[in-house]
Structure 1
């Protein structure tokens, strides 16, 4: 659309001349003799550029009236471009107006071509400002999607209360945090809670699944690449480190990072700079680092599979999440939470967990932790054909309660493999659905299937 122009000048001859000149160039030209109706005109019309006289009252040539109305216009809409109309002797005042936010000024008598060119330039600035505002709004909406208001962490057990106390203390600092715990214990939720409570909570928390990045794409994914860096690099790409600038970078499954790639991560963390693949220009990054793993990194260090200096760099503070079997009645709190969620989703509002089922839930070992509990409740709701969910509704194995100091009956990797195979059967091979059920990305799912030979 062509720009819409608003002219305010107490001289009728000036108004008429400008209106005739500009009507053929612009979509709409509104002429006002009295500035008192200016704000009303702005409210009723989509004005892009305002041509504003410096003086309106007879005998007044201080320019204060023009400055006053300039401020009122910019208060109403800071994106509007204002061009001041002034006599030659008022150039100094016009310059003052520009310093206060006017786009430019034109002198009476004006050059038609120069005047039209100035208005077109002012219109382009208006368009640019509106695009910037739109991008900021989109960015704010994107931030809300990528890091919504923190979900309430459910848990009243002593073990979880200790974790939350640690989160509160650590979140307000910029210390690097390492979150450890078995698969499915909620490490990403804790990372999100730390970010939400931090001073960086208005910026992004960027999550990188270190187990899902292939070695060939590692540098491009984390550090970005320059156009032409390799065959398919058709444009510049921002890496995850850059994307997390001023915010939080969450490196999930950091224990899966190959030894050959660890020096590059260490260098970026030490120097606080990254260099895009195919470029020689270092880019400063300001990030808060949170990492997570279900592996024993100290054991990996002893085995020569993880760099000790990288471990020191990432674990200024370590938060260990307890497995679900050690959280007592939190099991029932979580079960009720997921029951409420899936009752609504599947429109089975009258469902309740029976006493026998509650005892079964408390006595089950939960090798898959909270994630397994969530899936068990969802499955029970889907298959429910009666109001009360009993022990059989959850299809839990009997006598698998962990005793103190004991370990899962099967290795975690084997259990994870079985869970993936079961999901593949239930979802009839639909990879997207399986990944969603397991709470992982499709790439992570492919990597795990390759690892387990599925």
Structure 2
């Protein structure tokens, strides 16, 4: 007995007796069936009946089964063709045109049911996978992270989702502030290593004399970033800033999947996914002799280019409103109304800092709105002047603390122990301040 009684099949055959015979066979096997006498009617039934598989005769008045196959879109259910006039060339052509299978009349009922069941199961599995990906995207906040409706950002979201089932090395290219680390985190969260750690290292921020120890660790000291990323993802931001003399060692670690900490004789395994990022053209760095070509080939299995705000200006109002709502929630105020002048200011600015700059502008606009003043144009200006100073000393101190703690959280990618150390306070004190100041770490990142 069919283990999936909810499977749905649409029969297209001009022979009434054959339609009824097929429907009777499938009804007995607990399928839901619908039947039409012409292939021309299939399109209307797809929306109404939503079949898992189409069973179509080949030779029919008007549109033939082969023509039906060619007219169906990429998202259509699989098609099984059946014909009393079939021959090998026709079957080969049908398979080349995308048919799931080809069956000759008179048919073996058991084989027909098996083929249809396999086709329907494949359709269901594909639909389940699509639903799972959509759910994962919602859970990971991918739509929130890569917010926007322009073609560039839609394509980027699709590319990220297409990489959810692979651990291939990825290289993210884009200007400062376009969200490369956010994309890296999304690749990690949705990928096969999502349960492991996400370890971020800004290669441009590390002094050359500390780089090797930070990357590979010491035998008698703390472990390095490669070891910390075991079973997870290692994110190398500004990878082209990696010191030239250490690139060979990094390349060897990636190729052999092992590395040797400083002062240690035995290697340790290097099992992690590598995601790299750069705000400069890596090919230009190779041409200038600052980056090894063989290392570039190792890290650029997949390349994703992140669009600038200048390339997606139509998303500016949507992004600004989103960030303003986030900060309004953090500061416990109503989001400021965006006026036509505000929109004009958003569209006129060049946004050299990209999404990061827009986020900060939205925060400054919300802070000004708390005092019943301000505009987007004023928030864009680097020097806000006395107009943005709070009215009372208590408000000024709270705003200063909030900005200081928020910046530290961003600078240290949410690593709260590092934030506490940078601020010179204890972890418990930091936790209390985060609560008191109404800061949302996830929103800040």
Q: TM-score, normalised by structure 2?
A: 0.54
Distance in 2 between residues matched to 1:433 and 1:342, nearest whole Å: 12
1:299 aligns with one of 284, 292, 296: 284
Deviations 1:33-59 (A, max 9, x none): xxxxxxxxxxxxxxxxxxxxxxxxxxx
Q: CA RMSD in A?
A: 2.8
The equivalences for 1:11-410 within 5 A come to 149-150=140-141, 152-153=144-145, 154-227=147-220, 233=221, 237-384=222-369, 390-396=375-381
Distance in 2 between residues matched to 1:226 and 1:167, nearest whole Å: 37
Distance in 2 between residues matched to 1:389 and 1:358, nearest whole Å: 14
Shift of 1:174: 1.4
- Determine the structure 1 residue equivalent to 2:74: none
Deviations 1:394-442 (A, max 9, x none): 3459xxxxxxxxxxxxxxxxxxxxxxxxxxxx979x9876555667799
| Aligned residues of 1:181 and 1:323 also touching (Cα < 8 A) | yes
| Aligned residues of 1:247 and 1:288 also touching (Cα < 8 A) | yes
Flag structure 2 segments of 5+ consecutive residues without an equivalent.
Answer: 1-138, 383-398, 419-445
Give secondary structure in 2 for the equivalent of 1:299: helix
- Determine the structure 2 residue equivalent to 1:13: none
Distance in 2 between residues matched to 1:431 and 1:349, nearest whole Å: 23
Flag structure 1 segments of 5+ consecutive residues without an equivalent.
Answer: 1-147, 228-232, 398-425, 444-454
Shift of 1:335: 0.5
| Aligned residues of 1:220 and 1:239 also touching (Cα < 8 A) | yes
CA distance 1:300–1:345, shift in 2 (3 Å)? same
Deviations 1:237-277 (A, max 9, x none): 22211111121111111121121221111111111101111
Distance in 2 between residues matched to 1:432 and 1:345, nearest whole Å: 13
Distance in 2 between residues matched to 1:389 and 1:431, nearest whole Å: 22
Shift of 1:363: 2.3
Shift of 1:220: 1.9
Give secondary structure in 2 for the equivalent of 1:318: strand
Deviations 1:332-375 (A, max 9, x none): 11101111111122232152111210122022110000011111
Distance in 1 between residues matched to 2:187 and 2:299, nearest whole Å: 15
| Aligned residues of 1:353 and 1:389 also touching (Cα < 8 A) | no
Shift of 1:225: 1.1
Shift of 1:387: 5.6
CA distance 1:246–1:395, shift in 2 (3 Å)? closer
| Aligned residues of 2:365 and 2:376 also touching (Cα < 8 A) | no
| Aligned residues of 1:352 and 1:388 also touching (Cα < 8 A) | no
Give secondary structure in 2 for the equivalent of 1:291: strand
CA distance 1:213–1:431, shift in 2 (3 Å)? farther
| Aligned residues of 1:181 and 1:321 also touching (Cα < 8 A) | yes
CA distance 1:441–1:310, shift in 2 (3 Å)? farther
| Aligned residues of 1:352 and 1:389 also touching (Cα < 8 A) | no
CA distance 1:440–1:287, shift in 2 (3 Å)? closer
Distance in 1 between residues matched to 2:360 and 2:275, nearest whole Å: 27
Distance in 1 between residues matched to 2:241 and 2:406, nearest whole Å: 24
Q: How many residues align?
A: 260
Give secondary structure in 2 for the equivalent of 1:295: coil
Give secondary structure in 2 for the equivalent of 1:269: helix
Distance in 2 between residues matched to 1:219 and 1:437, nearest whole Å: 25
Q: TM-score, normalised by structure 1?
A: 0.53
The 10-residue stretch of structure 1 (267-276 or 325-334) with the greater mean CA deviation from structure 2: 325-334
Deviations 1:258-303 (A, max 9, x none): 2122111111111110111111111112111100010111011111
| Aligned residues of 2:254 and 2:270 also touching (Cα < 8 A) | no
Larger Rg computed on CA atoms: 1
Shift of 1:149: 4.5
Give secondary structure in 2 for the equivalent of 1:246: coil
